[in-house]
Amino acid sequence: MIWFKARLYLTSMVAIILLACLFYLLHDDKSQSGQRRSEILLQLQVLDNALDLEILLISSMQQQNYDEIVRLTQQLKQQETDPEIASLFRELPSELAGKLKQYRHTLDQRIQLTERIKTLAAVVRNGLNYMPMLLNRIEESDDAGLPRAEQIVNLLYQYHIFRSDLDAREIRDQLNTLTDNGSDGIADLIFHIQTNLTAQTQLTQLLAEYKQIPNSTAFNQLYSSYLSYRNKVTQQTEYFNSVLIGLTTALILLLTFLYLRLIRSHQQTEQARLRLKDGVDNIKEAFALFDADNRLILSNRNFSSFYPWITSLLKPGTHKEIIQKAIDEKCRYQQESATNRRVVQHIENGNYYLCSNTPTNEGGEVWVRVDITETRLREQELRKLSRALEQSPAAVVITDINGLIEYINPKAEQVSGYSLEEVLGKSPAIFSSGDISPVNYQDMWQQMLAGKAWQGTFLNRRKSGKLYWEAATISAVRDPGGEITHFVAVKEDITERRSTEEQLRMNAAVFETTNEGIIITSPDARIISVNPAFTEITGYRAEEVIGKTPQIFQSGKQSDSFYQEMWQTLENNGSWSGEVWNKRRDGSVYPQWLSIAAVRNSDGQLEQYVAVFSDMTQRKDDEEKIRQQANFDALTSLPNRIMLKRELARIQQLSDQTDSSCALLFIDLDRFKAVNDTLGHSVGDEMLQQVSIRLASVIRDTDLLTRFGGDEFVIVLQSIAEADDASQTAQRVIEVLSPPFQLAGRTLYIGASVGISCYPNDANNGDSMLRNADMAMYLAKEKGRNQYQFFNAEMREHVKNRTEMEQALRLALERNEFELYYQPVCNLETHKVVSVEALIRWHRPGNGLTGPGEFIPLAEETGLIQPIGLWVLQRGCEQLMQWQEQGLDNLCMAVNVSSNQRQLGFDARMAEKIIKRTGADPEKLVFEITESMFLDSSDAAVTWLKEFKALGAKLAIDDFGTGYSSLSYLKQFPVDKLKIDRAFVRDLPDNKEDASLVSAIIAMSQSLDLELIAEGVETLEQLHYLNQLNCTNIQGFLLSKPVTAERLPEVIRQIESSVLSLNPADYEI
Amino acid sequence: MQAFKQYSRTHKPHQHLICCAVLLLLLLCPPTDAMDLSSEPISPIQADNQLNPDKVSLGRILFHDPRLSSDSSISCASCHNLSKGGADTSAVSQGVGGALGSANTPTVYNSSLNFVQFWNGRAADLNQQVNGPVHNPVEMNSNWPLVVRRLNQDPAIKQRFESLYPDGINGANIRNAITQFERSLSTLNAPFDRWLKGDESALSAEQKHGYRLFKSYGCISCHQGTNVGGNMYAPFGAVKDISEYFNTRSTPLSDTDLGRYTATNDAADRYLFKVPSLRMASVTAPYFHDGAVKELKTAIEIMGRFQLGREIPAEHISAISSFINSLKGEHPELQQ
């Protein structure tokens, strides 16, 4: 409405302003240009008149110069050409324009004549000016014609004054009479008078023409026409003005009228609206109406009370979206139900409104909101109760008055195993276990029908047949009239509770009877309960300690930080256990093994601490014994090898600190083995004890005597001044052991060899000290018994060599110094070389070709065996491929794998990589492993081997017979071949022992279906013997030494051609 | 005549006023010996003080700008040498490609005082005049679009134009600027003007004598006004047949000789020429429309003969010539 009003005002104002402007412009413009035009016309007239004046002056010879007339003519021309003036006159009616043009034309004519007049006037003037001078000349020349001349000149002046044609004719006549008598003057006079006369005549004519030009008439006509035109225009303008004013007035009146009408209709509308609003305000529902533009038209009081936070928005004209958005800020929407499309708003304050948005005919929308909060709450209440029933931990059974089941809740379903459908309409007897329930049903019914609640316990049977205990409360439900309509049984499965009670009873028995002391405290560590074992161990009775804290047991042996740590652990982990020294009631201190556990309830709340402890006094004693055994030799009570190593480290450290030296004496008893072997271990043991006593007598207190093992003793001398101190001790050792020992009724002599190494001169750590002293001892032994020997430069050299070799070995791979040699294995049945064994050689610079025996142990020790092993496999596979290309396609290759390689990570996966890379056929590969691999018969080892088998490769046991392999081991491992160690072959067939061993191995391999290869076959006899025993695969010098790859094909050819003669089929032992 | 009466009526009160003012002045001023020269037919040149200095200086540049000619060889100043009297010394000037003009170049000094332009008055004013040489095939042989295009390529000129004229460079604005410059070419303080203003010593006795002769012979009838000429047409051979002049001339009769006839085709306009100003006559030989006469004295003699029908004696010619010298005023561009 306001907007409409504003529009009305605006429109009227604009209209009025427009009209006023129009009025003003029309009036002003017309009058201004009219005025200017008048001015110009008058100006033209002024110039025209001025021109007349100038012409008058010129023609009367009074004007001295033409500047003024030039000015006038130029102004007149300018007026004609001035574009401003031209535009002013352009709009005039054609009649008026014609008149203007006509007037202008007359002006042009006059200007043209003016120019001629100017020219002629000059000539005339000059002629008149010259006449007196000419007469003078004539007079001076005494011409007789002078009087006549004077007469004619006078006539000329007369003509000039009166300009009568009569005078002109007279002058001409006279001139004719004035004969040219040869006088210059007369001739000149005649010429000039004639010229002058002609000029004056022309001038007179021009002036007449000039006067005849109807410029005044033209102007007057123009001006009067213009005036009448102007009057007409002015009249017209005024007429228009009047009309305009009339129109304006009419418009204003009309607007006023409209405005009044509008106000009235607005009032009516407002009244109608108020009525409507009043009606709408008083309905119970919230109501809002929007027009087709989604603008709010009307909302009732309840709408704002339903949504109090949007009251400020509820003004007519607010957009629906804005209101919707504002409402949405504080409410959530719910679909009333899946089938019902109606939407329910849930307001933050808890109210529920049912929403209905209905389109109106106009295209707008009506919103109606019904407050359904109360209904909703009631529904929720009911739902809550039913949910409580549904989710109740108690089983609920509802029956009708006849005791037929109407409802059981899910818990009841769960407990009984029956579903609601199964029991609906049936008697609760369906749950019954039979007649074993300790319930008097008659009593029960009596009590229930009397309206009292009955409580009791049933022994029921689940659907599954299992029995269970149930505590039940049954009561009657009455309608408002007091009539019983239903019975409700609330039951609880107490089976578990019953068993828990049993459990508790059992626990109590344990608590009472266990040998371990138990203390239970409250969270603040006050003792709540103790068991009889507690009393037995500590001597305290329960009533003496209850309410106190376990601090009363503290012996003071543990520091405060010990208890802090204990509590910390207890807090973090929930339990703590450890050794604690506590005090008994009688004051004695004893060690106990204490376990404390924090007991928390299901909420994690600390409820109590349980401390369980046992008396450790006995255990402590045992432990001391074990420690003794670990560090000391049981036989001699001397520190053992473990202790020695530890002490050595300590002593070495001490030497470093005090910058002193120490020495290690490695003592090995001579001939002790003989004592042991001949007189038995007990005598040996007794001897060792005596030796240890004698050795102890020759050392200082600060020195360390240990039994290193067997008949080896080690003495460590701390802080020696010079090497001589060590040699003196060594000498004393030898001397003290020289006297005979009286044992088992015999006099026995032994001796000792002593090796000495010093720190830091000979070694830089305990291990090398031991190693060096050991080495020195061997040397002493070699020199003869009862000697001592210092570790010396030669030995150092040996060590050094070893170090150098290690370095060379590391470089050997890089420098490609290794080469593989191959030794063929020939099958005696097929007479073919079936495989070769790859054997490594080292072209060590400066040392020539080095066999594996010299460097493989070192490689094993240093871990270099791994890269070397991989290289061997790689090279072997490559070679296999080369041979294959050369036509040796049935040849297998055996590669050695040491147990160290396995420990260093070598496995089937690594092998597979190499095989794949080289393209070798894995079935042509045999991995030779040593028996030592079988020492570890773990699953891991078996798996490791099986993976090689899975590649397709074969496995062979190398050096078989030297180790500990037993039949049972072999069964476990997935091996294909056995290689009989050369040691057994060497003495065949003469050595009976070896012969029987070999035949046993052969028999065993046959029974296990293992292929056999005899290594180290050097003689024909050996070959024949083995062949006799069905060991058909032979390897050895007899056939060929290991050879280079290049030579191998040739060697194979030789073997295969000669083997026939080596192995006559009819050969017999 | 009615209008004239009206005019007279309206001016009567003013006349009274002037009479009163003159009387009052006569009473107040002490009597002097000075002559009253106010009614002399020649009046002093006044500087044009309605000029825009910026436009004048732009016009000066354009006046000297050869880009106005087709081959960029000729500027206005080529023929109107400002230091040498505002004209050149040839009978007819050379245009582009050495083409010869058809009439003698008049001085550009005081040209704004001429009532029409060109010898035959075919241009009503300077503004129209500028079109002539620009388009004339024997002068600049050019056209405005070409000139405008060229000037537009010069940022400095372009910028000057844009600062002075809202519509920038166009023919009308070029003409306007040049005209403004030409209007500034008024020669001031000529000895004769100074004499007119009362400086008795400005003229020599001979010059004064020459002036009197100039008047008495009737030269003054045509050569009057501020510009001593330039405000009327006169037939070449006003009282005596001019054929004699043309016959004795070395060059044959040409269209140019026909004078205003070439502009109007009116038989009466045959041999009619604009009377030239004598202000710069002393320094703008040769003379007449054909530039056939090299000496001023000869020109005076010829004028006396054909315009006045008189043979002027040599001493008189000399005096008149001397008077004519006194008409030349000063201008910064002009070499004294």
| Whether residue A769 sits in one domain with residue A726 | yes
Average pLDDT over residues A298-303: 84
Is the Cβ pair B310, A130 closer than 8 Å?
A: yes
| Whether residue A523 sits in one domain with residue A420 | no
* Backbone φ, ψ for residue A331 (5° rounding): -145, 160
Q: Which residue of B has its CA nearest to A199?
A: B239
CATH assignment of the domain containing A736: 3.30.70.270
Is the Cβ pair B43, A67 closer than 8 Å?
A: yes
Residue B11 CA to chain centroid, in angstroms? 33
Is the Cβ pair B3, A216 closer than 8 Å?
A: yes
The shortest CB-CB distance from B7 to any of A49, A115, A126 is to A49
DSSP class of residue B136 equals -
Q: Which residue of B has its CA nearest to A122?
A: B221
Is the Cβ pair B124, A70 closer than 8 Å?
A: no
* Backbone φ, ψ for residue A881 (5° rounding): -65, -40
Instruction: Tell me how far apart the alpha carbons of residues A180 and A188 are, in angstroms, rounded to a whole number.
Output: 10
| Residue carrying structure tokens 């006297």 | A739
Calculate the alpha carbon distances from B305 to A12, A687, B311 in Å.
Answer: 87, 184, 5
**Amino acid A998: pLDDT:** 83
Calculate the alpha carbon distances from A124 to A152, A175, B228, B259 in Å.
Answer: 16, 18, 19, 22
Using the predicted structure, report yes or no on whether residue B1 has a pLDDT greater than 60.
Answer: no
Q: Which amino acid is at A80?
A: E
| Whether residue A597 sits in one domain with residue A713 | no
Query: Quick check: is A28 in a domain?
Result: no
| Residue carrying structure tokens 């429109």 | A11
Using the predicted structure, report yes or no on whether residue B32 has a pLDDT greater than 70.
Answer: no
Structure token digits, residue A1013: 């290869």
Q: Which residue of B has its CA nearest to A42?
A: B3
Listing DSSP states for B16-42 in one string gives HHHHHHHHHHHHHSPP------TTSS-
Instruction: Tell me how far apart the alpha carbons of residues A631 and A641 are, in angstroms, rounded to a whole number.
Output: 8
Instruction: Write out pLDDT tens, residues A918-966.
Output: 888 888 899 998 876 766 556 777 888 888 888 889 988 887 776 555 5
**Amino acid B321: pLDDT:** 95
Instruction: Tell me how far apart the alpha carbons of residues A821 and A838 are, in angstroms, rounded to a whole number.
Output: 6
As a whole number, the mean pLDDT across chain A is 84
Is residue A1023 within 8 Å of A1055, Cβ to Cβ? Answer: no
B156 vs A9, higher pLDDT = B156
The shortest CB-CB distance from B232 to any of A74, A118, A126 is to A118
Using the predicted structure, report yes or no on whether residue A499 has a pLDDT greater than 70.
Answer: yes
| Whether residue A837 sits in one domain with residue A783 | no
Average pLDDT over residues A1018-1023: 86
| Whether residue A889 sits in one domain with residue A1025 | yes
The residues pairing with A398 across neighbouring beta strands, listed in sequence order, are A407, A488
Sign, CA torsion B8/B10/B13/B14: negative
Instruction: Tell me how far apart the alpha carbons of residues A664 and A11 are, in angstroms, rounded to a whole number.
Output: 126
In Å, how far is B132's CA from the nearest CA of chain A? 19
| Whether residue A833 sits in one domain with residue A782 | no
Is the Cβ pair A216, B39 closer than 8 Å?
A: no
**Amino acid B5: pLDDT:** 42
**Amino acid B30: pLDDT:** 44
Using the predicted structure, report yes or no on whether residue A215 has a pLDDT greater than 90.
Answer: no
Chain B residues contacting A, CB < 8 Å?
Answer: 1-4, 6-8, 39-43, 115, 124, 216, 218, 221-222, 224-226, 231-235, 238-239, 268, 272, 308-310
| Whether residue A198 sits in one domain with residue A130 | yes
Burial label for A532, CB within 10 Å (0-12, 13-18, 19+), is middle
In Å, how far is B9's CA from the nearest CA of chain A? 12
Annotated catalytic residue within B40, B139, B182, B295: B139
* Backbone φ, ψ for residue B19 (5° rounding): -55, -45
Query: Quick check: is A384 in a domain?
Result: no
Residues 6 or more apart whose Cβ sits within 8 Å of residue A255 = A8, A11, A12, A15
Q: SS3 for A338? A: coil
Query: Quick check: is A311 in a domain?
Result: yes
Closest CA to A130 of A62, A174, A191, A171: A191
Instruction: Tell me how far apart the alpha carbons of residues A222 and A233 are, in angstroms, rounded to a whole number.
Output: 16
Instruction: Write out pLDDT tens, residues A673-689.
Output: 778 777 888 888 888 99
Instruction: Write out pLDDT tens, residues B287-301.
Output: 999 999 999 999 999
Q: Which residue of B has its CA nearest to A196?
A: B239
Closest CA to A777 of A854, A714, A830: A714
B5 vs B257, higher pLDDT = B257
In Å, how far is A118's CA from the nearest CA of chain B? 7
Instruction: Write out pLDDT tens, residues A106-155.
Output: 988 989 899 999 999 998 888 888 888 888 888 888 777 788 888 888 88
Closest CA to B209 of B225, B198, B195, B227: B195
Calculate the alpha carbon distances from A62 to A52, A57, A122, A157, B39 in Å.
Answer: 14, 5, 11, 15, 11
Ramachandran quadrant class, A459 (left: phi over 0; alpha: psi -120 to 50; beta: rest): beta
Instruction: Tell me how far apart the alpha carbons of residues A216 and B318 are, in angstroms, rounded to a whole number.
Output: 49
Query: Quick check: is A1067 in a domain?
Result: no
CATH assignment of the domain containing A888: 3.20.20.450
Structure token digits, residue A363: 């295209």
Flag whether residue A116 sits within 8 Å of chain B, measured between CB atoms: yes
Instruction: Tell me how far apart the alpha carbons of residues A531 and A538 are, in angstroms, rounded to a whole number.
Output: 11
The shortest CB-CB distance from B3 to any of A48, A126, A188 is to A48
**Cis ω for the linkage preceding A760 (within 30 of 0):** yes
B34 vs A1030, higher pLDDT = A1030
The residues pairing with A579 across neighbouring beta strands, listed in sequence order, are A593
Contacts of B8 in chain A (CB under 8 A): 49
Percent of chain A with pLDDT over 90: 5
Return the CA Rg of chain B.
Answer: 22
| Whether residue A1027 sits in one domain with residue A987 | yes
Average pLDDT over residues B35-53: 87
CATH assignment of the domain containing A536: 3.30.450.20
Instruction: Tell me how far apart the alpha carbons of residues A1029 and A1017 are, in angstroms, rounded to a whole number.
Output: 14
Contacts of B2 in chain A (CB under 8 A): 216, 220
- Number of domains chain A is built from: 7
Query: Quick check: is A19 in a domain?
Result: no
The residues pairing with A615 across neighbouring beta strands, listed in sequence order, are A592
Q: Which residue of B has its CA nearest to A219?
A: B3
Please check whether the two domains, B53-183 and B191-325, share a CATH topology: yes
In Å, how far is A262's CA from the nearest CA of chain B? 55
* Backbone φ, ψ for residue B295 (5° rounding): -105, 140
Q: Which residue of A has its CA nearest to B222?
A: A122
**Amino acid B13: pLDDT:** 46
Largest CA distance in chain A: 222
DSSP class of residue B105 equals P
Closest CA to A47 of A93, A106, A99: A106
Instruction: Write out pLDDT tens, residues B106-151.
Output: 999 999 999 999 999 999 899 999 999 999 988 899 999 999 999 9
Burial A806-840 (b: 16+ CB within 10 A, else e): eebbeebeeeebbebbbbbbbbbeeebbbbbbbbb
**Amino acid A1028: pLDDT:** 82
Instruction: Write out pLDDT tens, residues A445-472.
Output: 888 777 788 888 888 888 888 888 888 8
**Weakest-pLDDT range from B94-103, B202-211, B227-236:** B94-103
B182 in active site:
no
Instruction: Tell me how far apart the alpha carbons of residues A215 and A50 are, in angstroms, rounded to a whole number.
Output: 13
Average pLDDT over residues A986-1015: 82
Percent of chain B with pLDDT over 90: 69
Is the Cβ pair A65, B224 closer than 8 Å?
A: yes
Instruction: Tell me how far apart the alpha carbons of residues A654 and A587 are, in angstroms, rounded to a whole number.
Output: 43
Give the residue from B115, B128, B216 with the most A CB atoms within 10 Å of its CB, the best one to mutate.
B115
Give the residue from A53, A64, A82, A222 with the most B CB atoms within 10 Å of its CB, the best one to mutate.
A64
* Backbone φ, ψ for residue A896 (5° rounding): -85, 140
**Amino acid A1068: pLDDT:** 40
Instruction: Tell me how far apart the alpha carbons of residues A607 and A528 are, in angstroms, rounded to a whole number.
Output: 11
**What are the contacts of A790-796 at 24+ separation with CB within 8 A?**
A790/A723, A790/A726, A790/A727, A790/A755, A790/A756, A790/A757, A790/A758, A791/A755, A791/A756, A791/A757, A791/A758, A791/A762, A791/A763, A796/A762
Last residue of a domain, one of A281, A299, A324: A281
Using the predicted structure, report yes or no on whether residue A43 has a pLDDT greater than 70.
Answer: yes
**Amino acid A5: pLDDT:** 65
pLDDT class of A1063 with cuts at 50, 70, 90: low
Q: Which amino acid is at A799?
A: V
| Whether residue A968 sits in one domain with residue A1050 | yes
Average pLDDT over residues B72-92: 91
Last residue of a domain, one of A791, A824, A840: A791
pLDDT class of B3 with cuts at 50, 70, 90: very low
**Amino acid A814: pLDDT:** 85
Q: Which residue of B has its CA nearest to A75?
A: B115
Instruction: Tell me how far apart the alpha carbons of residues A341 and A123 are, in angstroms, rounded to a whole number.
Output: 121
For chain B, domain boundaries: 53-183, 191-325
**Which range marks the domain in which residue A451 is found?**
406-494
Structure token digits, residue A5: 């009003």
Average pLDDT over residues A75-102: 84
Is residue A489 within 8 Å of A396, Cβ to Cβ? Answer: yes
Query: Quick check: is A869 in a domain?
Result: yes
Contacts of A219 in chain B (CB under 8 A): 3
In Å, how far is B115's CA from the nearest CA of chain A? 6
pLDDT class of A1069 with cuts at 50, 70, 90: very low
* Backbone φ, ψ for residue A705 (5° rounding): -115, 130
Chain A 44-83, residues with CB within 8 Å of chain B CB atoms = 45-46, 48-50, 52-53, 64-67, 69-70, 73-74, 77
| Whether residue A850 sits in one domain with residue A714 | no
| Whether residue A660 sits in one domain with residue A780 | yes
Task: Establish, for the pair of chains A and B, how many residue pairs have beta carbons separated by less than 8 Å.
Answer: 94
Sign, CA torsion A8/A13/A19/A22: negative
Residues 6 or more apart whose Cβ sits within 8 Å of residue B26 = none
Sign, CA torsion A578/A582/A584/A590: positive
Flag whether residue A266 sits within 8 Å of chain B, measured between CB atoms: no
CATH assignment of the domain containing A371: 3.30.450
Query: Quick check: is A5 in a domain?
Result: no
Instruction: Tell me how far apart the alpha carbons of residues A314 and A316 are, in angstroms, rounded to a whole number.
Output: 7
Flag whether residue A301 sits within 8 Å of chain B, measured between CB atoms: no
Closest CA to A379 of A396, A354, A355: A354
Q: Please state which of the four CATH numbers 3.40.50.1100, 1.10.760.10, 3.60.10.10, 3.20.20.300 is assigned to the domain occupying B191-325.
A: 1.10.760.10
Contacts of A53 in chain B (CB under 8 A): 4, 7
DSSP class of residue B256 equals G
Percent of chain A with pLDDT over 70: 95
Instruction: Write out pLDDT tens, residues A850-871.
Output: 888 888 888 887 888 889 999 9
Highest mean pLDDT among A409-418, A1009-1018, B322-331: B322-331
**Amino acid A436: pLDDT:** 58
Q: SS3 for A887? A: coil
The shortest CB-CB distance from B232 to any of A66, A125, A192 is to A66
**Amino acid B9: pLDDT:** 43
Is residue B57 within 8 Å of B161, Cβ to Cβ? Answer: no
Query: How would you classify the pairing of strands A892-897 and A832-844?
Result: parallel
The shortest CB-CB distance from B41 to any of A65, A70, A192 is to A65
Q: Please state which of the four CATH numbers 3.30.230.10, 1.20.210.10, 1.10.760.10, 3.40.30.10 is assigned to the domain occupying B53-183.
A: 1.10.760.10
Q: Which residue of B has its CA nearest to A189?
A: B309
Query: How would you classify the pairing of strands A405-408 and A606-615?
Result: unpaired
Element (H, E) at A866: helix A865-886
Instruction: Write out pLDDT tens, residues A514-535.
Output: 888 889 898 888 998 888 888 8
In Å, how far is B41's CA from the nearest CA of chain A? 5
The shortest CB-CB distance from B226 to any of A67, A119, A123 is to A67
Flag whether residue A188 sits within 8 Å of chain B, measured between CB atoms: yes
Instruction: Tell me how far apart the alpha carbons of residues A329 and A308 are, in angstroms, rounded to a whole number.
Output: 12
Closest CA to B203 of B331, B37, B41: B37
| Whether residue A350 sits in one domain with residue A476 | no
Is the Cβ pair B41, A53 closer than 8 Å?
A: no
pTM equals 0.46
In Å, how far is B74's CA from the nearest CA of chain A? 32
Is the Cβ pair A220, B1 closer than 8 Å?
A: no
Is the Cβ pair B309, A192 closer than 8 Å?
A: yes
ipTM of the complex: 0.85
* Backbone φ, ψ for residue B266 (5° rounding): -95, 125
Flag whether residue A443 sits within 8 Å of chain B, measured between CB atoms: no
The shortest CB-CB distance from B1 to any of A64, A192, A216 is to A216
pLDDT class of B251 with cuts at 50, 70, 90: confident
Using the predicted structure, report yes or no on whether residue A980 has a pLDDT greater than 80.
Answer: yes
The residues pairing with A846 across neighbouring beta strands, listed in sequence order, are none
**Amino acid B57: pLDDT:** 94
